[in-house]
Chains A and B, each alone.
Chain A
Amino acid sequence: MLAVTDLVVRYGQTTALHGVSFAVNRGEVVALVGPNGAGKTTALKAIVGLVTPASGSIEFDGATIVKHKPENLLRRGISLVPEGRHIFASLTVVENLALGAATRADRRAAKKDVAAFLDRFPALGRRRRSQAGKLSGGEQQQLAIARALIAQPELLMLDEPSLGLAPLVVDQIFGVVSELRDAGTTVLLVEQNATRAVELADRSYVLRTGEIVLEGDSQTVLNHEDFLASYLGVAAGAPGAPVASGVPAASGEVTA
């Protein structure tokens, strides 16, 4: 569905991505993980047309989408929930959702969906008339995800949805993502919270300093000795204890 091939992005003299390739198939949840500054956000920005790649190709449903404008990519079915949420703080919850629905051709169905989403996310439903800026961090993230979903994207991309949220709230957000997975939504999940993201995903890519250093189905990636090394910068062969202890705790909560 989405195929990124040999993507190179430069900011001035620094190269943020040195020929990165990855793909997302329909119905999959794919995690793109890596430490700060690895180029995860840059990759997403390139996909939605916020930065222009120096070279490489990005294809969506078989057609190239390089140099397309962000607003048109949304109409083609790609929706990005940006890092740091970026809800419209001065607009109300309902207005934020209505914006997400503004691109849909069928106005009446869109309006119905706004109501449906307010039911689906009860926290938002309770505060539908409040300004979005007054919501808590977790509620804002839910709003951002709901706003993206209401446009009925074929591919939903989440940039660091757990960033800056309290652990309990992170659980909620991952819960939402796993619901999406179960509903068959195609998701590209970018996370620093690598272990949990990889566990949730069908397949994963590990990005480090602008290059893919590891890829495969999630079990393989989790158990690969390079996983921690590339993520935490720990030398290969270091104790895998954090992985082991992280697995049960995380998987127990995801379903909660």
Chain B
Amino acid sequence: MRVLGFVRRSASTPIILALLVALVTIVANSAGDASLRRIVVGAVVNMIAVIGIYLFIGLTGVFSFGQLAFMAIGAYATAIFTVPVATKRALFSAMPEWLADINLPFIPGILAGALVAAVVAFLLSFPMARMQPLSAGLATLAILVAVYTVAGNWTAVTNGSKGMSAIPTNTTMPVALIAVILVIIAVWIFQQSGLGLRIRATREDAVAARAIGIKVGRERGIAFVASAFVMGLAGGLYAQLQGTLSPDAFFLNQTFLLIAMLVVGGLNSLTGAVIGTILITAFRRVLQVIEAGVDIGPLEIPGRPGLTEVGIGIALLVVLALRSSGLTRGTEVSWDSLVRFGKRLTRRGTPSAAPTAAADPESVAGLAAAERTTPETATAEAVIEPERTPGA
């Protein structure tokens, strides 16, 4: 019983999230054809990246545009480590000897790639710690552009704009699924630990955190490095999924997509990262089908490139305007919150509502509302709040 109590109190979140991800992945995987299966694995890799972004932005509250730079580093490093030596000699003749001679198996290759990303982040974390949050956010943009430029031009190592190819493809569905579940568990432990608590304290109130002896810059730096490691991991898996790499895969468009996932789910919770990825991936798939052109009976809608991206942009803007803290409003799903939510549903007597929390946005909203401690009446001053006409 004591174990069950512990699970309910402290470990239900990662278990629920892991089950949810496994369920969605397996269902989607078995329902579709080969191309859909590939999309599903890609989505799982994306989820790892979104969790990686969450690990920094969500826990520290400091915004970053640059986390994909570490995904790029992890991807390229993994590619270099895992392409067979002979292939490297043949395809990338300009690569330095010592680099071409490295050859690692799949998993060590990915971990080594993630480690490279973490080391780069570690070096960058010292100057980052000196900056104000807003400057730091823009500095990360500088990192992104710098890495993009280097990846596109450093022909000797990255093969420049032509990109890498002939990367072994070992990222299968089970591999990706196990990876994401491990990441969810690890991140949960990290954020519940004393260290994670200190990092979250700096998010809530940096001045107060400093006053109780928390080294704000240092804690943010740790989150930055941890985030880079997870991003690197996602990058390595991505390289091993695609088999080819080009710098464009890690630039502003992809950054936007992943940030949209995180923001829609809710910047400040792991649950938000997971749910946001699922929702946006599904939404994006629907848009892509429409973009390719659909026939509804006699009505024929021609394909329009750009439609998917416009749809996602609008969706994100709507969420930002109506619910800027995301669907989860910064709360984590837990056994208790599910139970409370279930009770509310039965009391309301709406059997038509979806039974699982993550299946549709409305239920997540209800869940979050049940969990939320701050009442709706909160009316702290909004300095330049828009129009408030009487009776509006």
Q: Which residues of A contact B (CB under 8 A)?
A: 9-13, 45, 49-54, 64, 66-69
Contact = CB atoms under 8 A, between A and B. Distances in A.
9 contacts: A10-B379, A12-B380, A49-B388, A50-B381, A54-B377, A54-B379, A64-B390, A67-B390, A69-B387
A13 B378 CA distance: 7
A30 B361 CA distance: 52
Contact of A10 (B373, B377, B389, B392): B377
A243 B366 CA distance: 56
Interface size class of B (residues with CB under 8 A): 10 to 19
A183 B378 CA distance: 40
A86 B24 CA distance: 55
B378 A68 contact: no
B379 A13 contact: no
A51 B380 contact: yes
Contacts, number: 37
Contact of B375 (A9, A10, A49, A51): A10
B346 interface: no
Contact of B373 (A11, A13, A52): A13
B388 A9 contact: no
Given A12-B374, A13-B373, A51 B379 contact: yes
A20 to B, nearest CB: 16
Interface of B: 373-375, 377-381, 387-392
For the residues of A in contact with B, the DSSP-based class is: loop
B387 to A, nearest CB: 8
B376 to A, nearest CB: 10
A50 B387 CA distance: 12
A119 B377 CA distance: 47
B390 A68 contact: yes
Contacts of A12: 374-375, 378, 380
Given A12-B374, A69-B388, 16 more contacts: A9-B379, A10-B375, A10-B377, A10-B379, A12-B375, A12-B380, A13-B374, A51-B380, A51-B381, A52-B388, A54-B377, A54-B379, A67-B388, A67-B390, A68-B388, A68-B390
B375 A66 contact: no
Contacts of A9: 379
Nearest to A15: B377
Contacts of A67: 388-392
A11 B388 CA distance: 19
A49 B379 CA distance: 11
A54 B375 CA distance: 11
A12 B372 CA distance: 11
B381 A45 contact: yes
